[in-house]
């Protein structure tokens, strides 16, 4: 009851035990930042509302998927190593000395890595935030997006639809003319 969630495991149809972190995740997540930016509410309230929207839309799997952050982190590692190699090239072939330490090549590599890491993480955090914003805004008001940008909306629905978007009853009802306000969790 209190230790078991309402969801069941797809493999065994047995109840899935609740994690002690479920409450923390509900009140503190990255989507809360986007919600704060849109509605100017407190972070804890915004995180809870964003989580409630994803639950109402049955998009919890999409919102908890870490594919984008993992891909961006992997690209950041490549940029970090590439910047380190660039530091080596500058140190060895250009004659520019980064430091006066005993091992200038390793120092040049680490300085290049550090610069690449910092710059790539800052830029990719912006990209990740943009992805979060798209998910939150699209989950809150897909009909507004469809009215204001029909071509982009059709493109997004056709690329995402087969996976999880158009399969849900709320969107079909919405397209058949039901009021949009019925689908926003309060």
* Residue 54 contacts residue 139 (beta carbons within 8 Å): yes
pLDDT in tens, 93-104: 877 776 766 777
Residues 6+ away with beta carbon under 8 Å from 3? 17, 18
Is a pLDDT exceeding 60 seen at residue 184? Answer: no
pLDDT of residue 11: 44
Return the H-helix or E-strand segment holding 134.
helix 104-140
Sign of CA dihedral 132, 170, 143, 44: negative
Per-residue model confidence (pLDDT) at position 64: 75
pLDDT exceeds 80 at position 88:
yes
For 18-22, 48-52, 88-92, 113-117, which range has the lowest pLDDT when averaged over its residues? 18-22
Handedness of CA 46, 143, 184, 8 (dihedral sign): negative
Judge contact between 144 and 31, C-beta under 8 A. no
Residue 183 has pLDDT above 50, yes or no: no
* Residue 71: pLDDT band with limits 50, 70, 90: very high
C-beta atoms surrounding 35 within 10 Å: 26
Q: What is the structure's pLDDT at 137? A: 84
- Residue 158: band (very low, low, confident or very high) from pLDDT cuts 50, 70, 90: confident
| DSSP per residue, 136-153 | HHHHH-HHHHHHH-HHHH
pLDDT category at 37 given cuts 50, 70, 90 is confident
Whole-number percent of the chain with pLDDT over 70: 69
pLDDT value of position 167 = 47
| Mean pLDDT, rounded, for 128-138 | 87
Residue with tokens 């594919």: 67
pLDDT in tens, 57-69: 777 777 777 888 9
Residue that has been written with the tokens 């009851």 in this structure? 1
């Amino acid at each position: 009851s209190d230790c078991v969630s309402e969801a069941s495991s797809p493999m065994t149809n047995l109840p899935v035990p609740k994690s002690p972190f479920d409450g923390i995740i509900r009140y503190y997540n990255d989507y809360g930042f986007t919600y704060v930016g849109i509605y100017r509410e407190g972070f804890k309230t915004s995180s809870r509302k964003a989580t409630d929207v994803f639950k109402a839309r049955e998009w919890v799997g999409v919102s908890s998927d870490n594919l984008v952050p993992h891909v961006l982190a992997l690209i950041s590692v490549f940029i970090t190593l590439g910047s380190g190699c660039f530091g080596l090239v500058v140190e060895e072939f250009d004659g520019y000395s980064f430091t006066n330490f005993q091992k200038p090549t390793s120092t040049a590599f680490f300085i290049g890595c550090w610069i690449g890491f910092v710059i790539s993480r800052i830029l990719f955090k912006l990209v990740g935030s943009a992805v979060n914003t798209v998910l939150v805004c699209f989950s809150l008001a897909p009909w507004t997006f469809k009215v204001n940008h029909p071509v982009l909306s059709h493109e997004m629905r056709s690329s995402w639809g087969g996976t999880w978007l158009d399969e849900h009853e709320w969107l079909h009802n919405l397209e058949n003319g039901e009021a949009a306000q019925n689908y926003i969790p309060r």
